[in-house]
Structure 1
């Protein structure tokens, strides 16, 4: 029991004792007449009136008692009087209220006495710790974040009651309306207390039924799909919307209004939305009462404007609403966007579009008038570039879509900002306008914050086979402040060694034309995965230019020398001769396809790429999409002939602040022409960073050994290399799809994501597929013959598995903007896989800049 309780108990006890003494005195007077007579005599001898209490005229001193942590001077500082002041009941009363309002004291008594004022205080205790008991569905950390009580803070009963109500509200939001919270206090030494919240969570309160009253146009089932709240069912394990939430119910009302008004019901309204709790407090019945009204159609649509530069007929065509069509409220917002864009491109800086919606309930039509109002046209007087210490002014100016003297255009300014940001030279880019020398003149200031454009990139990763990779690249994306790109890459990993040197001039010949030249020497080592190593040495030149605001086209030409090597290439003469006689061993069969491709080749390749970018931000998009379509033709000169087609698209959608969903699709197909099959070093090998959850060349066609048992069909055998190592063949076709949601995890500079990926690789040329006997055993069959129909025990056959079976993986990623550079961790687990796939569960990358 705290000091406040003790003081209250003492007061109550004193009151009871006084009452008891008074009763005893009366009984004694009745029983003892002599005593009553003596008391009367004494009363007669006493003065007729006792002197009244006389308050002091002036305060002589102030004494503070009962304080433990709060200094006496601190207590006195809250008083509205001091020694030497005249005595005032009003000031005493105000001082008492002031001390209470500080929240430091549980009880305060001010006794003026004879001018020596005594102030007795009982301090509120300090919270030693806050404990939650009985909470299972809500973690203690989540509750702690929502309440005000915390260790080393003052304990007040009013604040505790507020925290109790907040905890109950948290449980109601999670669907537990039967939750109760009982606060308890455990006293500790030195006027400290442990605050314990005993929580009884109660059952999860679900939504038993959602009903609609007044709907005739749409069924209950249809309307339930349009709202966020859903009915509880045993199979909805991960549904968090199947409980009653008042805030969500308000959102549902707006969802219903949007649904109806987008389908012609202009005067639709939700009359009421009522949630009733069942007597057992386990479920809610939610009822929406609707007034659908009638179906409306668009009537007269017009645009009114007095702006000279805007043509009324042209604006009305932009509205894109046809008279007689079913009313759709979303068309109004689209029309306003179109009108804003048209006004902005015409040089009006501050356009105001007012809508006048008129409903005719007799004819069931909606007339709509847009009033476009704008002040005087504004022209750009001057453009100032601020903050660029390295980048030359003209590099920024050439990205702007406006110059001095142009009419002010907000749309073009926003585009210009995105173009400057897309350079990736600046950490921040802000464009602001201010008043110029006259009301129709504006000064545009482009303020940039430069960031390091030189980058030293380092990445590392681990595979399921304990392979380690290291990539090192040195890049300067803004060489000498002229916007030129110079990059040198040295890459060393378990399957790739690369030296690459590239230079790009973004304004080749002074035009909006990016010219690049690249020299490279690349060794792709697939000895562990597919049994070969390829070398590519050569160069490439390319030109890229924009087609429209959102589309671009690039063309390229590559000339490279290629060769294939493998450890057993000295056996190729023997293998090729054996293939002609049909006497192939298991090892010879595996080498045959490589032997057919051994040696050097010259590849002459023409290609182009079409790009389409509608992202709302070129660096961190939260909406829009981008797509690329590429084709390469080899064979106009050189020794290799094929046509390769690749496509890739990405879509972005911001769900909540900081939460972004993205989806991607990619695919490719390569086909030889002129009678040439696709060689192994030109095929698609997917895995690792291309397809998380699988190692390099982890999926796709593979050569697998099978063994026959007596009277049965062929089955895979581990003895023949069933694990898939050194058997990958690559594919002529691939398709990959991925979906990912990234979100903040509550710590600075840390993001997380969940992803799911699916894909396949296959469609190998028939000339590189095998179905032959490699070990006839004692069956008398011939090595090199077909495996079809083989049932003899002990016979080992070699087959190429190429089924285009899909693979699916799921996992999570962590992104950390560490002090020495961004780090990414990927954890993936295959869900759908083949036994011979090569899997990978963890990888990470990092880089640093200079």
Structure 2
């Protein structure tokens, strides 16, 4: 079998044989000893017939259409040459031979073969199904060396985008019978070209380590064979420039510039060095903040009071935007349309401050004529339209249109979402165009997690975030471990009754083999809920829960306090949960606050009667040029029984997620007279957690950081410590405290946390845990 290179076939040999132009006359006259030569004229060839030879698939008429030479005309050598060029450029023939023989024009062609099939060989990282659609060379088409070379370049570019710039693609043909060939693209993939080092020049306020956490490109580390973010992608560097600018602007560096971003290929061509040259400038703070207006219906002092921007704060464009939004919202609440707030910045280089004047003006009188939505093949128009607070006929507010565009992108239903405006049917009309491109919204995940309290747990999760294109969420999860199983089905309608009101329904079935004593539990429940915003960062959730909690297979040796709870009991409860979260929505890029407070009122319509109260206060901030994260949390709970004694399924147990340094249920009320000194839980708990995490000096691409923590807390309180036999129970409030050190490793297979702890204060019967490992991953 003979294999020929496509490049060799591209070298065409074109023979054109022409009869040399004879001199139409040569007159030599000697007049006074001077020789005169008559001028020569180019010869033309009369064509009485055209004979075509060598064509098998291509019709004579097709070849004649490229020749553009007809019988009976005379053709010059230039016209014959043009005819040859036209045939050659058609891409149908490997060789073309045009020969005038007397009055006949003989055209001899050799056709390119037909492609029998197209194969790709040598590819392992990229699959045939991904590469074949890129090719213009197809089976049953005429083979073209130029097209094959272009296809090879496309494949090489695909590998380049995957970080394998050393990949080579060579097209080859294998001759077959009947003037057919197999076209084979031989690929040598080479190794992934990784980012070996990312460095910054000119940065003083923030270290290289901090800035590397800002950008998307990552250095190759320990798990370089798994991590994809350390693969060099040229387009990612441009995005990194914008991320750096946003980072500095949000921290008051208004003069920040990325002077250059230079990727340099290593000598071995197996890695890149990326250098960002930056100019930070000075950090500006907010100077004077004033509000002015010439409009008689505007009270500037009233609008000044809603401004959150204060002198002395670090300047941030986000804070300016937030204040403008508040002022324009106040104008709408007062029924004032077309009011715009224009920020006017005055720079004070001596004091390194920016004075901000919010000028309230009257904007142009423009209305929204209509909102056109295109590209949503699955998602209903109303899902996109409800992201607009503006409807047809409302006054046009550019800021509200920009906010709506951000809400559309935040849905996660679209890979791209462009929102633009254009003039409508009149000068006072605006049409809003929404052009989206849908993406996948469903996922099926398999996961594994490990905790010292729960052991290894395997899970299967399905979630569809845009169910039937209605913007609804449907989810299913199944978790199973050595001691427990949990199955749940959930449904969420985010815009119930067309409002910012989320309706959720959840059903669950759980079984556990208690680690704290020898008994099993079973819980089945149904819980509908509604959730809605009550402030800029606050939300309120109302829910109803009906469930049956059962205690089964109670061993006779367990504590009498547990034995009296054997059997099932129904719970019918109304509850609420208020949350306030500024960690992502606040204006402080270095910190945030999370508050949660909720209550459950059981006994509605019968069943168990109790009030359960829980709360969480959490705050975090970054210090030391954002290298160290400080975090403080206070969590508490109270279970007030309205009738009878509390059941063990209602009481609180503390595990290592709440108080480190102890086994699950390893501290708190315990029946010391029982065989296994069974844990009983408590009606009250309170825990304070203080921790800090910081770099350990290792390369940040390893993802390893250190941490220290201090926890203090307790669980206490039982309704009745007297069981059906002798019990020894201490349910008083006894504080425990723990210190420890953590190693945090953020890996591609999941976040790992190693806790090494030592209890400072504990009771003799507590069960201490000096080492704890948690791991969680999805794949």
TM-score (norm 2): 0.53
Supply the distance in 1 between the matched residues of 2:664 and 2:523 (Cα, whole angstroms): 22
Residue by residue over 1:482-526, the C-alpha shift from the partner in whole angstroms, topping out at 9 and shown as x without a partner, is 9999999999x786xxxxxxxxxxxxxxxxxxxxxxxxxxxx999
Match of 1:339 among 319, 324, 328: 324
Residue by residue over 1:185-233, the C-alpha shift from the partner in whole angstroms, topping out at 9 and shown as x without a partner, is 2422033133242526268565357362x55666555555555555555
Match of 2:172 among 164, 185, 197: 185
Supply the distance in 1 between the matched residues of 2:499 and 2:236 (Cα, whole angstroms): 53
Alignment check: 8 A CA contact 1:2 1:187 kept: no
Counting only pairs closer than 5 Å after superposition, residues 353-372 of structure 1 correspond to structure 2 as none
Helix, strand or coil at the partner of 1:335: helix
Aligned CA distance change for structure 1 residues 84 and 625 (closer, same or farther; 3 Å): farther
Counterpart position of 2:184: 195
Match of 1:588 among 556, 564, 567: 556
Match of 1:597 among 545, 549, 565: 565
Residue by residue over 1:213-255, the C-alpha shift from the partner in whole angstroms, topping out at 9 and shown as x without a partner, is x556665555555555555555766554556554444444445
Helix, strand or coil at the partner of 1:680: coil
Counting only pairs closer than 5 Å after superposition, residues 466-615 of structure 1 correspond to structure 2 as 531=519, 547=534, 587-590=555-558, 592-597=560-565, 607-610=575-578
The answer to whether the aligner puts 1:645 opposite 2:614 as a matched pair is yes
Structure 2: gaps (5+ residues): 18-36, 373-384, 409-417, 435-465, 586-591, 619-632, 658-662, 668-674, 688-712, 730-737, 756-768
Structure 1 or 2: more helix by fraction: 1
Aligned CA distance change for structure 1 residues 94 and 355 (closer, same or farther; 3 Å): farther
Helix, strand or coil at the partner of 1:129: strand
Supply the distance in 2 between the matched residues of 1:321 and 1:243 (Cα, whole angstroms): 41
Counterpart position of 1:118: 107
Counterpart position of 2:456: none
Counting only pairs closer than 5 Å after superposition, residues 40-59 of structure 1 correspond to structure 2 as 54-57=43-46
Counting only pairs closer than 5 Å after superposition, residues 697-716 of structure 1 correspond to structure 2 as none
The answer to whether the aligner puts 1:377 opposite 2:362 as a matched pair is no
Aligned CA distance change for structure 1 residues 173 and 322 (closer, same or farther; 3 Å): same
Counterpart position of 2:447: none
The answer to whether the aligner puts 1:680 opposite 2:667 as a matched pair is no
Aligned CA distance change for structure 1 residues 418 and 289 (closer, same or farther; 3 Å): closer
Alignment check: 8 A CA contact 1:59 1:87 kept: no
Helix, strand or coil at the partner of 2:172: strand
Supply the distance in 2 between the matched residues of 1:417 and 1:56 (Cα, whole angstroms): 71
Aligned residues: 627
Supply the distance in 1 between the matched residues of 2:280 and 2:777 (Cα, whole angstroms): 55
Counterpart position of 1:579: none
1:626, distance to aligned residue in structure 2 (A): 11
Counterpart position of 2:196: 207
Aligned CA distance change for structure 1 residues 316 and 613 (closer, same or farther; 3 Å): closer
1:87, distance to aligned residue in structure 2 (A): 4.7
Supply the distance in 2 between the matched residues of 1:730 and 1:627 (Cα, whole angstroms): 25
Counting only pairs closer than 5 Å after superposition, residues 342-421 of structure 1 correspond to structure 2 as 342-343=327-328, 346=332, 376-378=364-366
Residue by residue over 1:35-61, the C-alpha shift from the partner in whole angstroms, topping out at 9 and shown as x without a partner, is xxxxxxxxxxxxx99x99853456744
Aligned CA distance change for structure 1 residues 307 and 684 (closer, same or farther; 3 Å): same
Alignment check: 8 A CA contact 1:130 1:151 kept: no
Aligned CA distance change for structure 1 residues 603 and 219 (closer, same or farther; 3 Å): closer
Alignment check: 8 A CA contact 1:318 1:339 kept: no
Counting only pairs closer than 5 Å after superposition, residues 246-265 of structure 1 correspond to structure 2 as 246-258=234-246
1:589, distance to aligned residue in structure 2 (A): 1.9
Supply the distance in 1 between the matched residues of 2:74 and 2:120 (Cα, whole angstroms): 50
1:101, distance to aligned residue in structure 2 (A): 4.0
Alignment check: 8 A CA contact 2:137 2:148 kept: no
Residue by residue over 1:17-52, the C-alpha shift from the partner in whole angstroms, topping out at 9 and shown as x without a partner, is xxxxxxxxxxxxxxxxxxxxxxxxxxxxxxx99x99
Supply the distance in 1 between the matched residues of 2:267 and 2:493 (Cα, whole angstroms): 71
Residue by residue over 1:396-430, the C-alpha shift from the partner in whole angstroms, topping out at 9 and shown as x without a partner, is x999978999756677899999999xxxxxxxxx9
Residue by residue over 1:101-159, the C-alpha shift from the partner in whole angstroms, topping out at 9 and shown as x without a partner, is 444444444445535462524316527333333x56x3344972695365526544444
Alignment check: 8 A CA contact 1:273 1:289 kept: yes
1:769, distance to aligned residue in structure 2 (A): 13
Counting only pairs closer than 5 Å after superposition, residues 660-739 of structure 1 correspond to structure 2 as 671-673=638-640, 678-683=646-651
Alignment check: 8 A CA contact 2:324 2:341 kept: no
Helix, strand or coil at the partner of 1:339: helix
Residue by residue over 1:149-174, the C-alpha shift from the partner in whole angstroms, topping out at 9 and shown as x without a partner, is 65526544444444555555555555
1:370, distance to aligned residue in structure 2 (A): 7.9
Structure 1: gaps (5+ residues): 15-47, 385-396, 421-429, 496-523, 569-586, 618-623, 650-665, 692-698, 704-719, 722-726, 736-761, 775-782, 787-802, 813-826, 845-850
Alignment check: 8 A CA contact 1:127 1:154 kept: no
Counting only pairs closer than 5 Å after superposition, residues 324-335 of structure 1 correspond to structure 2 as 331-332=316-317, 334-335=319-320
Aligned CA distance change for structure 1 residues 333 and 373 (closer, same or farther; 3 Å): farther
Aligned CA distance change for structure 1 residues 147 and 685 (closer, same or farther; 3 Å): farther
Alignment check: 8 A CA contact 2:685 2:716 kept: no
Counting only pairs closer than 5 Å after superposition, residues 12-411 of structure 1 correspond to structure 2 as 54-57=43-46, 60-61=49-50, 63=52, 65-78=53-66, 80=68, 87=75, 96-111=84-99, 113=101, 114=103, 116=105, 118=107, 120-123=109-112, 126=115, 128-133=117-122, 138-141=125-128, 144=131, 148=135, 151-152=138-139, 155-166=143-154, 169=157, 179=166, 181=168, 183-189=170-176, 190-199=179-188, 201=190, 204=193, 206-207=195-196, 210=199, 212=201, 214=202, 226-232=214-220, 238-240=226-228, 242=230, 245-258=233-246, 266-282=254-270, 284-291=272-279, 331-332=316-317, 334-336=319-321, 338-339=323-324, 342-343=327-328, 346=332, 376-378=364-366
Alignment check: 8 A CA contact 1:207 1:244 kept: no
Supply the distance in 1 between the matched residues of 2:552 and 2:260 (Cα, whole angstroms): 77
The answer to whether the aligner puts 1:630 opposite 2:618 as a matched pair is no
Helix, strand or coil at the partner of 1:194: strand
TM-score (norm 1): 0.49
1:631, distance to aligned residue in structure 2 (A): 0.3
Supply the distance in 2 between the matched residues of 1:224 and 1:444 (Cα, whole angstroms): 39
1:376, distance to aligned residue in structure 2 (A): 3.7
Helix, strand or coil at the partner of 2:565: coil
Alignment check: 8 A CA contact 2:645 2:720 kept: no
Alignment check: 8 A CA contact 1:671 1:677 kept: no
Counterpart position of 1:822: none
Aligned CA distance change for structure 1 residues 442 and 543 (closer, same or farther; 3 Å): same
Q: CA RMSD in A?
A: 7.9
Aligned CA distance change for structure 1 residues 220 and 601 (closer, same or farther; 3 Å): closer
Supply the distance in 1 between the matched residues of 2:99 and 2:203 (Cα, whole angstroms): 71
